[in-house]
Amino acid sequence: MNGILDKWVEIPIKKLEKFNRLQTYKKMEELNIEISEEILMKKKTKSNGQHEFIELPKTTRPRIVIGEVIEKLKKIPEKSIDVIITSPPYWQQRDYGEKGQIGQETTSEKYIQKMVEVGEHLKRVLKDSGSYFLNMGDKYVEKNLQMIPFRTATEMQRKGWMLRNVIIWYKPDHMPSSIKDRFSNTWEPVFFFVKGTGKYYAPEYYVNIDPIRVPHTSNGNSRSDLPLTLSEDEYQKRKDIIEAQLTLINGKYQGKFKGHERNRGASPGARLSLFGEYYTKQRAHKINSESETKIIQYLRRWRGKRNITSKEIDKLLNKKDTAGHWFRLDHGRSLPRPEDWLKLKKILGFDDGYDKIMTETRYVLQTVKPHLKGKNPGDMWNISLERLPDAHFSIFPTELPKRIISAFCPPNGMVLDPFAGSGTTGKAAMQLGRRSILIDIKPEYAKLIERRCGLRKEKTLPKFLDENETGD
């Protein structure tokens, strides 16, 4: 038995001697269900009025927390969650019959405000490396689509969330509809938020999409077996053969952008279609941001010593608005190209310390090679609906949280669904070996979740849920 339970059982046993409460609470603990009766709540409130935190689950068995979302979020320790995945009640869609339920607000504005408020509590419990996936449905009022999900997302952005994607969950088996004066609705958005850290160029959230990459349908666009990179020496030695091979390959290109160069955009595929395959000379060494900072500080010192301005350097190098970037430490910074480094060296007269990493180059083949592990799945997710006869609300298919958890929850990480319903998120987390916390306002759903997650053997019904119920 763990510590938190020891504290909680003390009072009820004394007060309710007739019942074998201790056993009941033990069972609750085993089932990972939070004990939320009034009497226990009192015990859990510290003398300073602050709530004690719930204990985070140590195994993949989801911890079910029954109660109003904001109240329960207050009891989750700060920055303890890796990924939040949820689908709150949609506005004016369903009455869950619970005091404090969300979705019954009189106006959409009030509903949006409530969701933004929940978002603020979620921000507190989410790690800085965490992410928040919010699936929301919309609503027509007098035939007018309210755009509730998007209005909520905009408000969330105003509150400092960074919106990374709007994933379209397309339902290939969507409900048939008899509507004749507009198109039927076949998808829902899933907003992918991260915490705004103020460093947009280096967001710090955890992501690894490798587990959800999809297989390539072709071999990519490269038609040669030329090496992806070549050292300066290798390139010079084989130059004639390489160029002959490239001419041969490029001669076969039917570039669809030829004659329409201006429209080619920036994609590697379009560049390829226009210019074919070719090598570009690039710096051979990867310079991480820490080394970059060191190099820039070094340049700043030398510029100070020589008492010369960036403008004067530009002039000497016959450039415009370039040198200034080499001395900046903010996100507008850049390092001099290898050839510029040597010229700058002459002007400032610094030593050879960084010459190697700044000037060594290699040749890189410009082509579109498929990613070895498959392609990025993109933001349009085609996932069939899942139906659950005993859930009186719409559930999302297990595949949806599974995809998200696989890519955004580190191994052994913690997933939270603050509007758990039937516990789909918990089921997905369990299947993927992640821990989870599931909050829902409706006590009956605890049983549903347990069944869904395969935690419930009908015979070991915990009596405390409802002493009169049979279990279904």
Ligand X SMILES: C[S@@+](CC[C@H](N)C(=O)[O-])C[C@H]1O[C@@H](n2cnc3c(N)ncnc32)[C@H](O)[C@@H]1O
Q: Would you say 358 or 395 has its CB closer to ligand X?
A: 395
* Whether 418 contacts 65, CB under 8 Å: no
Burial class of residue 98 (count of CB atoms within 10 Å of its CB; 0-12, 13-18, 19+): middle
Which of these, 283, 251, 420, lies nearest to 358 by C-alpha position? 283
Using the rule CB under 6 A, which residue among 12, 62, 89, 149 binds ligand X? 89
Among candidates 48, 158, 72, 169, which has minimal Cα distance to 121? 72
Of the candidate residues 29, 82, 188, 440, the single one contacting ligand X (CB under 6 A): 440
Strand partners, 283: 361
- CA 246 centroid distance within chain: 40
Question: Distance between CA 67 and CA 65 in Å, rounded?
Answer: 6
Rounded to a whole number of angstroms, the minimum distance from the CB of residue 71 to ligand X is 8
393 is a contact residue toward ligand X (CB under 6 A): yes
| Interaction of residue 100 with ligand X, rule CB under 6 A | yes
Cα separation of 299 and 315, whole Å? 17
Among the listed residues 169, 396, 408, 464, the single contact to ligand X using CB under 6 A: 396
Q: Coil, helix or strand for 154? A: helix
- Binding span for ligand X by CB under 6 A among 86-94, 251-259, 269-277, 319-327: 86-94
- Check residue 428 for interaction with ligand X (CB under 6 A): no
For ligand X, the closer CB: 212 or 438: 438
Residue 364 beta carbon to ligand X: minimum distance, rounded to whole angstroms: 46
- In the list 68, 138, 234, 355, the residue contacting ligand X (rule: CB under 6 A) is 68
Say how far apart CA 411 and CA 121 lie, in whole Å: 24
- Residue 108: CB minimum distance to ligand X, A: 16
- The dihedrals phi and psi of 149, each to the nearest 5 degrees, come to -60, -45
Question: What is the rounded distance in angstroms from the CA atom of residue 111 to the CA atom of residue 134?
Answer: 15
- When the beta carbons of 169 and 341 are compared against ligand X, the nearer one is 169
Scanning 168-176, 189-197, 275-283, 433-441 for contacts with ligand X by CB under 6 A, the matching segment is 433-441
- The residues that bridge with 86 in the sheet, in sequence order, are 134
Query: By CB under 6 A, what part of segment 331-360 binds ligand X?
Result: none
| Residue 117 contacts ligand X per CB under 6 A | no
- Residue 96 lies near ligand X (rule: CB under 6 A): yes
Closest alpha carbon to 407 in 104, 111, 194: 194
Rule CB under 6 A: say whether 69 interacts with ligand X.
yes
Residue 70 beta carbon to ligand X: minimum distance, rounded to whole angstroms: 7
Residue from 24, 32, 367, 422 that binds ligand X (CB under 6 A)?
422
Determine if 421 is a binding residue for ligand X (CB under 6 A).
yes
273, 256 contact by CB (below 8 A): yes
Q: How far is the CB of 271 from ligand X (least distance, A)?
A: 43
Q: How many residues bind ligand X (CB under 6 A)?
A: 23
* Residue 450 φ/ψ, nearest 5 degrees: -60, -45
> Residue 261 Cβ, how far from ligand X at the closest point, in Å?
49
131 binds ligand X (CB under 6 A): no
Q: Does position 424 bind ligand X by CB under 6 A?
A: yes
Closest by CA to 134, choosing from 97, 176, 102, 174, is: 102
Distance from C-alpha of 462 to C-alpha of 471, rounded to nearest angstrom: 9
CB 34 within 8 A of CB 64: yes
CB 187, CB 348: distance < 8 Å: no
Determine which residue in the list 25, 350, 363, 445 makes contact with ligand X, applying CB under 6 A. Answer: 445
**The binder of ligand X chosen from 442, 443, 461, 463 (CB under 6 A):** 442
Interface residue with ligand X among 153, 190, 313, 439 (CB under 6 A) is 439
Tokens of 330: 């903010």
Tell me which stretch binds ligand X (CB under 6 A): 151-159, 246-254, 277-285, 434-442.
434-442
Q: How far is CA 228 from CA 240, 368, 384, 436, in A?
A: 17, 10, 40, 43
User: Which one of 98-106, 244-252, 300-308, 402-410 is the stretch in contact with ligand X (CB under 6 A)?
Assistant: 98-106
Chain positions contacting ligand X, by CB under 6 A: 68-69, 87-89, 96, 100-102, 391, 393-396, 419, 421-422, 424, 439-442, 445
